[in-house]
Chains A and B, each alone.
Chain A
Amino acid sequence: MMQNPHDDPAIARRRRWMGVLAQAPRETLERAWRRFAAPPAFEWLRRPETGLVMTRGRAGGSGRRFNLGELCVTRAAVRLEGGAVGHAYVAGRDGRRAELAALFDALLQQPTLHDELERELIGPLAEAAHAAREDAARKAAATRVEFFTLVRGEDA
Chain B
Amino acid sequence: MNDTATLPGFADPVHDAQRAFRALLDALARPGRIHRLPPPLRAVPGLGPAAAALALTLVDFETPVWLAPSCAPAAGFLRFHCGCPIVTEPEQAAFAFACGFAELPVLERFALGTEEEPERAATLVVEAAALGEGRALRLRGPGIAGECRTHIGGLDDEWLAARAMLHALYPCGLDLFVTCAERVCGLPRTTRIEPPCAPAEA
Say how far A80's CB is from chain B's closest CB, in angstroms: 11
- Taking a contact as CB atoms under 8 Å apart, the answer to whether B6 and A46 are in contact is no
Say how far A78's CB is from chain B's closest CB, in angstroms: 10
Provide the bound-state CA to CA distance between A45 and B2, in Å: 13
In the complex formed, the residue of B with least CB distance to A1 is: B1
Provide the bound-state CA to CA distance between A12 and B124, in Å: 38
Give chain A residues whose Cβ lies under 8 Å from the Cβ of B80. 45-46, 77
Q: Which of B5, B8, B9: most chain A Cβ within 10 A? A: B8
- Taking a contact as CB atoms under 8 Å apart, the answer to whether A45 and B13 are in contact is no
Say how far A64's CB is from chain B's closest CB, in angstroms: 20
Give chain A residues whose Cβ lies under 8 Å from the Cβ of B9. 46
- Taking a contact as CB atoms under 8 Å apart, the answer to whether A49 and B13 are in contact is yes
Give chain A residues whose Cβ lies under 8 Å from the Cβ of B8. 43-45
Provide the bound-state CA to CA distance between A77 and B5, in Å: 10
In the complex formed, the residue of A with least CB distance to B2 is: A85
Whether A97 sits at the interface, judged by CB under 8 Å, is no
Give chain B residues whose Cβ lies under 8 Å from the Cβ of A77. 80
In the complex formed, the residue of B with least CB distance to A43 is: B8
Provide the bound-state CA to CA distance between A74 and B9, in Å: 17
Interface residues of A in 45-59 (CB under 8 A from B): 45-47, 49
- Taking a contact as CB atoms under 8 Å apart, the answer to whether B13 and A79 are in contact is no
In the complex formed, the residue of B with least CB distance to A79 is: B6
Number of residue pairs across A and B with beta carbons under 8 Å?
Answer: 16
Say how far A44's CB is from chain B's closest CB, in angstroms: 7
Interface residues of B in 3-49 (CB under 8 A from A): 5-9, 13
- Taking a contact as CB atoms under 8 Å apart, the answer to whether B13 and A85 are in contact is no
Say how far B3's CB is from chain A's closest CB, in angstroms: 11
Say how far B42's CB is from chain A's closest CB, in angstroms: 11
Say how far A47's CB is from chain B's closest CB, in angstroms: 8
Give chain B residues whose Cβ lies under 8 Å from the Cβ of A44. 8
Say how far A82's CB is from chain B's closest CB, in angstroms: 13
In the complex formed, the residue of B with least CB distance to A47 is: B13
Provide the bound-state CA to CA distance between A85 and B81, in Å: 14
Provide the bound-state CA to CA distance between A45 and B7, in Å: 7
Interface residues of B in 72-95 (CB under 8 A from A): 80-81
Give chain B residues whose Cβ lies under 8 Å from the Cβ of A49. 13
Give chain B residues whose Cβ lies under 8 Å from the Cβ of A46. 9, 80-81
Q: Which of B6, B9, B13: most chain A Cβ within 10 A? A: B6
Say how far B119's CB is from chain A's closest CB, in angstroms: 21
Say how far B136's CB is from chain A's closest CB, in angstroms: 42
Say how far B14's CB is from chain A's closest CB, in angstroms: 9
Provide the bound-state CA to CA distance between A44 and B80, in Å: 13
Q: A45-B6, A49-B13 known; 4 other A-B pairs, CB under 8 Å?
A: A45-B5, A45-B7, A46-B9, A46-B80
Q: What are 16 A-B contacts with C-beta separation under 8 Å?
A: A43-B8, A44-B8, A45-B5, A45-B6, A45-B7, A45-B8, A45-B80, A46-B9, A46-B80, A46-B81, A47-B13, A49-B13, A77-B80, A79-B6, A85-B5, A85-B6
Closest 8 CB pairs of A and B: A85-B6, A79-B6, A45-B6, A45-B8, A44-B8, A77-B80, A45-B80, A49-B13
